[in-house]
Chains A and B, each alone.
Chain A
Amino acid sequence: MAFLIRTIATAKSGRKVVRDRTVENSELIVGRAPDSDIHLPDLSVDLKHVRISQSAGGSVDVEALGTLGFGLDGSMVESGSINPATGGEIAVGSARLAVSSGDDDGKVQIVIEQVAKAGGASDPVQGFALASALPSKRVMAWGFGAAIFVLLLSVPIITHLLRSPVENDPDNLAQGQVVLDSAWSAGALSMAHHDLEENCEACHVTPFVSVQDETCLTCHEELGDHAEMPRLAEGMAPLSTGDAIQWSIGETLGKEGPLGCVSCHSEHEGPVVLEAASEQFCADCHDALDTRLSNPNFGNASDFGEKHPQFRPQIYTAHFAEEPARVSLDDNPQEMSGLIFPHDIHVDDQGGVARMAISLGQYGAPLECSDCHSEWTSEELIIQVAETGGRPSQYGDFAPVNMEASCEACHSLVSGRAGDGFTSLRHGNVDDLMEDLASLDRGPRRPVVSPRGRPGQFAQGGRYYSNFGRPMSAYIAINRALEPTGVCGECHIPTSTDGRRDLTPVNLPHRFLMQGYFDHAAHGDDVAQCTDCHATDTSSEATDLLIPDLASCRDCHLGESAAETEEITPSSCAMCHGYHTPTMPWKPEDHPDLPGNGGNDSVAAILSSLRR
């Protein structure tokens, strides 16, 4: 038994070197150990790796000696056998041992060949460059660039163009349809617009067209203009050169100009609460408005303490006037209300009025302002607005003085007895009065039958007693009542209409200052008494207008830049004036979505309120 071992090596030149030897043995040891029959100087081969032996039947048995197996015809095995007639290949490390029956009888031939190692073809020095350990710059550049182009530009544009526009509904600010455009938002919206955060296209309706006033007005339709448009532009302060250039370019491209909504109400400035305009904002235009407006009907203003026109309350300057007129307090205005009312007598705590009030259970003390003047209750105001229309603010703080409630305790219109109570003349309408007086029995008359009176309810003073005398005495009573010294003339100015006696109509405005707003509640008892501002104790005529003038307000209120002291309150324009609602002051607190006003407890809102 013997093996013919043929070793094939490949020289560097590529030439094959074949070496043959014969081992006269029935078994061979293949391994890395130098004394192996087949020595393979390969570290991946065990020192004694495989035993190859010829069995009696002529087949060749192969058996692993170490821990590693070997490859037999392509599969890893621990042992196996080869029929030399058909041949087989053993793989050990990088060597391939082809086993077959040799040319010589009885010898098994083993051809050993090394498998060439793969790879290593490229220039190894190139591995020194960092490029070999990182993705290529070009791939990264195109990757990042394309991701940004697609996600942050193409997706929002395409979804914006493909959306089906919906009408804005302030009660249902639906989620926007445009995808990923929140990445375009330059900053959070103001608190009032917080609900629109995910609905960019509610305002940004048309591509490349700036936010239009028309869009703002779909929700804010009730807002008034500060002034009519050509006049507003006329009075506007001149723009700086830079702003003028920007606006001329912007307006060419469709911006609505410096008087559009968004020019002042710039958005995306963070979750802020809309602040009142600063004094400077107003003064920019109002400081020298007369130099720009052709017919200004109000004075310049820039600082309440230093430059503000005298108040011009609206009053009725003549009896029977249809409309009130604005008169400056500097022009000694006379209010023709149609009433006679000396405040001084009524508020004097020593005189007859005071005595009378003390004697009446209803008062029990000298009269106070609040006995006649009371603030609107909300129910009253709701009824008033429902009946005569308009905004609640145009009715002022105080309800009109009611004759029956406030005057009649002393200025009685009681006309007689009826059963257990009294009859009273109706107030408010001269026709009613005449009717009431005509039915009175005031004049003396002879008894119809003499000399005995009628019994029971038919007797004088009884329920069915009737005066069948001539009505002359009633007419006299009517004339007497409507004379200056009559019961009506106590408070009203008699006049005649179409030759008939009548009273001058009462003309009292609900509010006097219509272009600014005075909040009585903010000037309560702890701040001032009524008489501190309203000179009732020295006013003996109803024609006296008891509206305090500019100077008296300046006792406490000076401009925004004034130093705050115990007496002085720095006051910006917005304390009394509103931009869009001239009859209302700045009152953002009314908005339900603002922090602190309930209805909004988001973290952003809470943080925002803390910051304030």
Chain B
Amino acid sequence: MASVPNDRFSQDEQRRNADHISFLKYKRFRWLWIAVLVAVATTIGYFLIDQDPRPNGGSWYGYTLGTIGLGLIVWLSLLGVRKRNISQGNWSLKGWTSAHVYLGLALIVVGTLHTGFQIGWNVHTLAYFLMLLVIISGIYGVVVYAKLPTVLSSGRSEMTRGDMLEELTVTDRQLESAAQPLDRQQADLVIAALGQDVFSGGALGRLTGAYPGCKTNRALSGFSQSGGEVEAKVHALLSQRAEQLGTIRGHLRTKALLEVWLFIHIPATIALLAALLAHVISVFFYW
């Protein structure tokens, strides 16, 4: 039983390492090296093997690359299934994700060589560009996952999302009561500002941070700081509201930039699988 503490220690150490090593560095970049090997080997083969009359998806080497590419695409897309099942060991989700990222990068080389650089307006090229779209959105996803979460937590100055909304609600209440003495026209501006949904502006607004339809800013331009006591107060409250909205929108932008890739990656993957099916069947249907 003396060996138990030792075992326990190494086991814990392993777990700690596993917890803290990112999927990119998994097993000392094992999958990076495998991916580099695949890419280099297929490239060397492409240039060394005589393909008559020219490199083409229909030569034997083309079929080989196509089969590898098809296998990779199907396996890569199974991450969505795999991540919903929890297991550990060599095929832990971290290992799987690591392989997903690096083999996905190698797929750029395999898929491009499979095309033989013959591009056209057809289902085959559609599949190729969907594949590139999926991979590029994936690369973007990895990059933003590495960079943006820090921005996300620092940008909201220790507030939760609920806090941010609550703060805005308080301002809105103050604004509503401060605006009571206002005439019709100015009251309408305040109503419009209060009535607008915090999250309005659409996906484009979130991604760019530009909200040309923002009614708070429009209301702000209808009040002058140097007007009457009421007007100045409403102006101050509207400014405060605009500032709070700015914080929320900054947060929204970071979050949108962090999440948008999946809205391309996932639908494009399914579209790719459909295009791939059409590609493979059409090639042999019209053999």
Contacts and interface: CB of A to CB of B under 8 A. Distances in A.
A133 B199 contact: yes
Interface string B53-67: 110111111011000
B281 A153 contact: yes
A145 B273 contact: yes
Contact of A131 (B52, B58, B179, B259): B259
A66 interface: yes
B143 to A, nearest CB: 17
Interface residues of A, number: 59
Interface stretch (B13-21, B23-31, B95-103, B116-124): B116-124
Interface in A377-396: none
Contact of A184 (B64, B252, B286): B286
Interface in B176-208: 176-177, 179-184, 187, 190-191, 194, 197-199, 201-203, 206
B267 A140 contact: yes
Contact of A44 (B57, B187, B199): B187
B165 interface: yes
B278 to A, nearest CB: 4
A128 B164 CA distance: 11
B181 A208 contact: no
A536 to B, nearest CB: 46
Nearest to A243: B60
B251 interface: yes
A113 B287 CA distance: 77
Interface in B204-250: 206
| Residue of B52, B190, B203, B260 contacting most chain A CB atoms (<10 Å) | B52
B273 A129 contact: no
B274 A43 contact: no
A432 B115 CA distance: 75
Nearest to A153: B278
Interface of A is mostly: helix
Nearest to A209: B287
B270 interface: yes
B49 A242 contact: yes
Contacts of A44: 187, 191
A187 B271 contact: no
Interface string A191-220: 000000000100010011111000000000
A133 B203 contact: yes
B256 interface: yes
Interface string A21-43: 00000000000111000000101
Contact of B182 (A34, A43, A182, A186): A43
A149 B277 contact: yes
Contacts of B161: 125, 128
Nearest to A154: B278
A422 interface: no
Nearest to B186: A43
Contact of A46 (B123, B184, B284): B184
Nearest to B285: A207
B284 A149 contact: no
Contacts of B182: 43
Contacts of B124: 184, 186
Contacts of B190: 43
Contacts of B203: 130, 133-134
A235 interface: no
B12 interface: no
B271 A141 contact: yes
Nearest to A137: B266
Given A41-B180, A128-B252, A134 B270 contact: no
Contacts of B165: 124-125
Contacts of A182: 122
A278 to B, nearest CB: 10
B191 A130 contact: no
B122 A183 contact: yes
A377 to B, nearest CB: 41
Interface string A242-277: 110110000000010000000000100100000000
12 contacts: A41-B176, A43-B180, A133-B202, A140-B267, A145-B270, A148-B126, A153-B274, A156-B282, A183-B122, A186-B283, A208-B285, A246-B59
Interface of B: 49-50, 52-54, 56-61, 63-64, 118, 120-124, 126, 161-162, 165, 176-177, 179-184, 187, 190-191, 194, 197-199, 201-203, 206, 251-252, 255-256, 259-260, 262-263, 266-271, 273-275, 277-278, 281-287
Nearest 9 A-B pairs (CB), nearest first? A141-B270, A246-B60, A144-B271, A140-B267, A153-B278, A127-B199, A148-B274, A145-B274, A204-B286
Given A43-B180, A157-B281, 7 more contacts: A34-B181, A43-B191, A66-B184, A124-B165, A130-B203, A130-B255, A133-B201
